[in-house]
Structure 1
Amino acid sequence: MLSLTQLAAYVAIIETGTFQKAAERLGVSQPTVSQSLRNLESYLGVALVLRNRIRCEATPAGAKLLRHARTLTRLAADAEMALLQERVAIGASGNIGTYLLPPFVKRFVDTGIDQESIGVTVASNPEVATALDSGEVDVGIMEWWDDRPGFTAMPWRKEEMVVITPPTHRWASRSHVSRDELLETPLIGGEPGTGTARLLRTLFGTAEGDLRVSYAMGSTEGVKSAVKAGLGVSLVLAASVQDELAAGTLHAARIAELPISKELQIGHCCKVSDEAAFCLIQRPYISKTLLTRRISPRGSP
């Protein structure tokens, strides 16, 4: 059977780059780390680490193991923390966790709740859904919901989406652009799995397939940088560009025929009530009491 101690040593070696730094992170001796790795490689029958003069790196087999090793060691740490203190884990998709959630976390802190009582994981929408399914997070705040069995979701808030351009773009003096203009203009794509494509299907119908994507940046921050550089235009949450609009480094316009918005969702296990899930995010003065009782784990009465 895989040993969590051995997996933790392996993860530390790869993440720190050396056996010595891994030992310092784990609070053990370097020979102990080396022995843990040898035992793990012996058990699996493969080499996991490539040693060179600069840093240790994962072998191809080690790279396959690494993601699972991180998940297992993180779950073990979460389980230990759950026994030591009351803690609620919140998962948020990238845009929500970056641009919308921080003020709500601050409200928690302002109520006097220990900051360590709240764990926030920011990941892609599919990753948050997976974490919710595995029990790694208690509540997931997401840009779309897939109606997975055993879970439920409720609307949290609506967020407007806008077309962003650089200040030198021909649309920079306009408050609206048309549907047809968007179809004729290459768009810069952002983080996959955010549900924006679903919205575009609503807006454009069958013509959605005619949309052209010139670059796929992988994140909203990457999208904003590309738009600022003059590589094209994009469609993003208005909340994600407030600073740039105030500074004049980006311009935002609405879609003339059908202004669109995303209805963000709070997903949670059916054992957690909608009221409790909503309180966790929206009403910290109520959540302070709720946190002391802890959210009921799945399967518990």
Structure 2
Amino acid sequence: MANEIQRQVSVKNLLSTEAYKKRFKEVLKDKANTFMASVVNVSNLPSLKDAEPNSILKSAMVAATLDLPIDPNLGFSYLVPFVNKGVKEAQFQIGYKGFIQLAMRTGQYKTINAIEIYEGEIKRVNRLTGEIEFNENKDEIDGEIVVGYIAYFKLLNGFEKTLYMSKEDMEKYAKRYSQTYKSNKDYVVKSSLWTTDFDAMAVKTVLKRLLSKYGILSIEMQKALETDQAVIKDDNSVEYVDRQVEEEIEENANKKTIDILAEEEKEKAIEIKESKSEEVKQQEFEAPPF
């Protein structure tokens, strides 16, 4: 109890320092005091018990910079606890509503949304264009069984894009990129939002992937993509303590492609060398003995 009280006082004390007050006021202007009060409220949630105070404030600062509320009931952004090397820290996580909010601020999107897909709701998916044909017969749709997730946007210039992921593919994705979700330790798995609120994380993920690949990315959106599910360090760098960054895997894949090309060049060189060797052997065989 004493540690919890000390932690709560510490968060309040940090917010009362000139450095933090000045920073929040620079970012939020007249909304700073209200936002700082919400930071204290969120830090008192049971899920953030004993979380390192500076990590809470630095994650909250990211939300402030993006002008997104951190009240978990609103669903725009969250401060999520994660044990990193024995220390409970707060991650910044953006919700799918937050991504929609940032996208709409660009003024380039006419429509944007992400939803769950229920059994029988989709007739077919065009793998090339991403276009979806929905089943209009409601009697054939089971609204209790989620089988996938879909995100869609249409720009003012008419460009539109859809991304669908089955639940099976989403589970594979979660196990691949979330260290806690793929863990076989129950106490670790239960700390993952993929476990506690899978559908919400899945809807967010399909929308995030769609926007990151095909959407118009404002400076705010780029920052949101960079800091999502990250712990903000003292030097303002980010550390992804629970997820493997998808871009890193794609980068490694690109390097692998280069390696494959290099291997092909090596094979060609070997073939040429072997061919020349055979020519030399043939000449030696045909040459008269001395």
Indicate whether the TM-score tops 0.5: no
Higher helix content, 1 or 2: 2
TM-score (ref. length: structure 1): 0.24
Larger radius of gyration: 2
TM-score (ref. length: structure 2): 0.24
More contact order relative to length (CA 8 Å, sep ≥ 6): 1
